[in-house]
Amino acid sequence: MTETPHENRTVLVTGGAGFIGSNLVERLMQRSGTRVRVFDNLSRPGVSHNVRWLRSLDSAMELEVIDGDIRDAAALASAAHDVTEIYHLAAQVAVTTSVDHPRSDFEVNALGTFNVLEAARRSGRRPFLLFTSTNKVYGGLHSVPVTVEGAHYRATDKTFRGVSEQEMLDFHSPYGCSKGAADQYVRDYARIFHLPTVVFRMSCIAGPRQFGNEDQGWVAHFLYSILEGRPITIYGNGYQVRDVLHVSDLVDAMQAARLHQKQTCGEIYNLGGGPDRSVSVREMLTKMEDITGRRANLRSSEIRPGDQPLYVSNTDKMTRDTGWVPSTSLHSVIESLREFWHANREILRTQRLPVLAEDLVSEEVA
């Protein structure tokens, strides 16, 4: 299924000034007849730069930016009153922050998502709604026993093809609870109120417009730190494995989910790079050192509670329902981040925190 050349769309993207949001907005603005409305409180480092970049694009006449907070139900209702689709990306994304400020985490992730759903329902237009959830809803994944092989963990079950949507939920940390509650609400609004909703439970996403702050992606954080000579803290032995998905492949998946609504509405999908794009912390550092010709400045610390030794997405369901498959290699992910760093190094140096103590191996971005 392909998009029609002159489809009239009015799209609301919450968190549209962030890393994933700005990449999605750029893609949406390339489509004739598509009006894009960004709803973002512009509080995170780098987002103002993303807004300036979006406004500089040739298609920026179709862009509207609203400085708003998803905790403000009235503001959301106003922003969503005439839209044909909603991509809900705005979130509090760090496990560490959720532990320090659990009430704020709940209000943003759980209540904020409820506000988005109610805005969609009360609009009366039944907009397509896609919500970005997290692999954290699966907890520590004790159901996937691992063993050490070289510099990475591997599943002891050699038939393991990644974590599927059938995995038992196990909310661990305030962040896991708030995002898990939100993704269950999104799914249930399809069943009870017949809204065309889709949930993506995402693994590690990386690519351009990622600023590598302490709560925004370990891959970018590692690479930028190597390029800038900053220290990187490794928690545990560094054998933890994650699958990495380039942001352009994620945006492809978002559009595939919308175009195949008959199959995807009311469904939950695990989204990541899958087994072919899985890598351990140590292996990723080696790849980055080879590409950049620079050595990483490493520090060690104790492993953090609840960290998943191995998380790899099984994306078979998404492929079956939409035909989507990722196409960007791990090498190309690193190269795209390096190119973005070289083109924006001064901005990145001022936007990133002076001391980066988190490697965020177990956290994705939203």
What residues are labeled active site? 175
59 CB burial (10 A radius; 0-12, 13-18, 19+): middle
Residue 189, token pair as written in the block: 């609004």
Report how far residue 46's alpha carbon sits from residue 163's, in angstroms, rounded to the nearest whole number: 32
List beta partners, residue 235.
301
Residue 10 DSSP label: E
Q: Which of 321, 237, 333 is nearest to 277 (CA)?
A: 333
- Centre a 10 Å sphere on the Cβ of residue 99 and count the other Cβ atoms it contains: 13
Sole residue written with tokens 């199959």: 263
330-343 vs 218-228: helix crossing angle, rounded to 10: 50
Tell me how far apart the alpha carbons of residues 152 and 184 are, in angstroms, rounded to a whole number: 33
Neighbours of 292 (CB within 10 A): 15
SS3 content of the chain, % helix, strand, coil (to 5): 40, 20, 40
Structure tokens at 361: 């191996």
CA distance 17 to 14: 8
* Structure token pair of residue 43: 């509080």
Q: Is the dihedral of CA 174, 179, 185, 187 positive or negative?
A: negative
Q: Which two tokens stand for residue 151?
A: 């510099």
Is-contact 175 109, C-beta < 8 A?
yes
Q: What string of DSSP letters covers 40-51?
A: E---STTHHHHH
Locate 101 and state its tokens: 């400020």
How far the first Cα of the chain sits from its last, in Å, is 27
User: Which residue, among 91, 187, 70, 88, has the nearest Cα to 78 in the 3D structure?
Assistant: 70
